[in-house]
Amino acid sequence: MRPLFASQGRPAWLGWFLLCLGLAALPWLLGSFGLRFAAEVLLVGVAVLGLDLLVGLGGMASLGHGAVFGAAGYAAALLSAQVGGNLPLVLAAGVVAGALLSGLMGWAARRTGGLFFLVLTLIFGQMIWEVVFRWRAVTGGADGLRGFPRLSLGGWTLDTPLSLYVVAAVLALVALVLARSFARAPLGQALTAWRDQPERMRALGFDARRIQIRVFLLAGALAGAAGALYPFVNQYIGPNAVHWSMSATLMVMLVIGGVGTLHGGFVGAMIYLVIQTYISSYTERWQLIVGLIFVLTVIFLPHGVARLAQSVRCRRQA
């Protein structure tokens, strides 16, 4: 895997610097709605980043990842209703819930692969949706949850668009560093090698199931952290957040952004949410636009929009 943000003639640290500079400049360029929207993009992007670890590194396409993301949001919202919106506690609840659910899903699916793995993760996610939708006394059922306390940290109330954006931006940067470190670590390299040459890795004595469960735990922790903050952006979370369609949406974002790029999840999330939030105001057929972009990406940019410059360079050299 190419080092994150590195390209020919440009060191990786320059990419990180430009990223931080861009995140720092956004509050000066966007209004209140724009900052809330940017925070949503970053949080969803972190969830897609976790999915990229499963799909891009491990070759394990999961249709239960969205349910992990949404379930962590419910866990954080319910905890905040009991103990308040303390940011470290909310994040901890989301990370623990996400890691446990994702780890359980990985353990259940560890002996399967291909279509069976995909269907099993789909069923697992729908089981979570069933619990959320039917347990009305706790989750609010079809109405979801509203009115939970606002986030706070050290006596500061994090209820402004700027504060929510800053928290989301910090989480995104931390998640990118963790994902990059995992991908470049021996464990991540072994997972990628198992994806590409399973028979050879099996002959060398590698236990893929242990590696797969670990990547499920990390992917779930990232999705859980993002999911924990997600309800506080709009002060609402509903059963759609754990429906299988959320998992499919995250997968679409990943493919558009670029599988295996790590940062491509944020690009895909931005493209999808811009169309959903802004373009949908002009047409009810905005999903057709998403579908068209998806098809064009698969045909002409198989490595994703995040690697557009690299794809153009390769075509010119060819």
- Per-residue pLDDT, 1: 52
Whether the predicted pLDDT of 9 surpasses 70: no
Given this model, what pLDDT does residue 179 score?
A: 94
> Do 121 and 53 meet the contact criterion of CB atoms below 8 Å apart?
no
CA distances from 133 to 22, 120, 191, 229 (A): 39, 20, 35, 21
Q: Count the helix, strand and coil residues of the chain and give each as a percent rounded to the nearest 5.
A: 75, 5, 20
Please say if the pLDDT value at position 22 is more than 80. yes
Cβ neighbours for 201, distance < 8 A, ≥ 6 positions apart:
190, 193, 194, 208
Q: What is the mean pLDDT of the segment spanning 6-13?
A: 58
- Tens digits of residue pLDDT in 209-252: 778 888 999 999 999 999 999 999 988 999 999 999 999 999 99
Is residue 36 within 8 Å of residue 233, measured between CB atoms? yes
Q: What is the mean pLDDT of residues 114-125?
A: 88
Specify the higher pLDDT residue, 126 or 198: 126
Query: pLDDT of 150-199, one tens digit each?
Result: 898 887 888 899 999 999 999 999 999 999 999 998 888 888 887 888 77
The confidence score (pLDDT) of residue 309 equals: 57
As beta bridge partners, residue 86 has 152
DSSP letter (8 states) at residue 242: G
Sheet holding 151-153, edge to edge: 85-86, 151-153, 156-158
**pLDDT of 27 higher than 80:** yes
Q: Please, which pLDDT band fits residue 291 given cuts at 50, 70 and 90? A: very high
Positive or negative, the CA dihedral 216, 218, 221, 222 is negative
pLDDT-based confidence at residue 84 (cuts at 50, 70, 90): confident
What torsion do the CA atoms of 161, 166, 168, 171 make, to the nearest 10 degrees? -170
Could you tell me whether strands 145-146 and 236-237 are parallel, antiparallel, or unpaired per DSSP bridges? Answer: antiparallel
Which pair of tokens denotes residue 181? Answer: 């470190």
Average confidence score pLDDT of the chain: 88
Neighbour-count burial for 138-174, b at 16+ CB within 10 Å, e otherwise: ebbeeebbeebbebbeeeeebeebebbbbbbbebbbe
Is residue 164 within 8 A of residue 158, CB to CB? The reply is yes
Quick: pLDDT tens for 56-79.
Answer: 988 888 999 999 999 999 999 999
- The pTM for the full model equals 0.91
